[in-house]
Homo-oligomer: A and B are copies of this chain.
C-alpha cells in the first residue's frame, strides 16, 4: 500500500486508529477455546466488528510465536483474511526485527513476501545495513523504533549521544532516539520509513516533528499506558495527519463474554469518534 492510499483511508474513515492484535489465550473469551484455531477466530471476529473504524491492524508476532507452528498458522490466516476481505487496511507486522544485512533480507522476505504485510517494525540498534534491506521493498514500509512507550525506553533511548558519524556530525549532543531519527533520514529509500513513538510523553512530539515533519508515526501507549490522544495530536499531527494511534488491550479485551466483538466495536467507535472530532477541529484550524 502506498502512503497516499493510507492517507486516503484516514480521510474516508475519519480515523487513524490501529488495532493491535496481541492475542493471549488466557485473555480471550473461554467459549472460543473449543474451536480449532481460537486465535484466528478471535482475530476474525474483532476484524469483522471494527474494520470500518480502523485504518490499520497490527498483530504482534510474539503472541503467535509463543504457540509455535500453530501460532504461525494463525498469523498467516489472520493476515490472509485481512488482505482478502479488507484490502484497504494497512497491515503492520509488529516484529521488532533487525540483523546483519543478508539476514535482515530474509526477515524482509518473510514479512513482505511470504506473509504480505504492508509494513514491519524494526529495531535500530544494529544500524544502517540492518534496516536498508527492509527499505528496498517498493510500497512496503519500515517502522523503526525511535522512542518506545515502556519504562525501559529511558535506559538507553533518552541518553545523550555525541561523536556521531557522517552528515549528522555537526549537530551536537542529542538523545539517542533523536539521533536514530536524524541518521535514518540519510539511509537509502528512507521515504519508506515510519517511526514508533510512544505516547507517554506527548510534548516530545514537538521536537520529533522538527526532525521528521512528514513521516508517519505509529503511536502505542494511548489509554492503558497513560498517554493522551488529544495531547499526542496537538504536538504530533501534520498536514497528512501523520499518526497511527495503536490500541490493543482496551479494544480487543473489552469483554470476555460472547459479546466480545460488539464490545470491541464500542471501544473502537469511542476512539474513532474522538479522532473524527479532532480531525474536524484541526480541519477548521489548519485545513487537514
Contacts and interface: CB of A to CB of B under 8 A. Distances in A.
Interface of A: 22, 24, 60, 62-63, 65-69, 71-73, 76, 94, 96-101, 103-104, 106-107, 109-110, 114-115, 123-131, 145, 148-165, 173, 176, 179-180, 183
A83 to B, nearest CB: 15
Most buried by B among A71, A106, A176: A106
Contact of A125 (B73, B106, B124, B128): B124
Nearest to A68: B114
B126 A150 contact: yes
Contacts of A154: 127, 165
B127 A62 contact: no
Contacts of A145: 125-126
B162 A183 contact: no
Contacts of A160: 161-163
A30 to B, nearest CB: 20
A165 B161 contact: no
Contacts of A165: 154-155
B176 A148 contact: no
Given A101-B150, A103-B22, A96 B109 contact: no
Contacts of A62: 97, 99, 103-104, 106-107, 110
B129 A150 contact: yes
Copies in the complex: 2
B100 A99 contact: no
Contacts of A130: 150, 152
A176 B156 CA distance: 8
Contact of A163 (B97, B101, B149, B159): B159
Contacts of A101: 150
Contacts of A104: 62
A43 to B, nearest CB: 16
Contact of A68 (B76, B148, B161): B76
Nearest to A166: B155
Contacts of A164: 159
A125 B127 contact: no
A153 B127 contact: yes
Contact of A152 (B109, B129, B155, B162): B129
B161 A183 contact: no
B66 A110 contact: yes
A154 B163 CA distance: 10
Contacts of A125: 123-125, 145, 148, 156-157
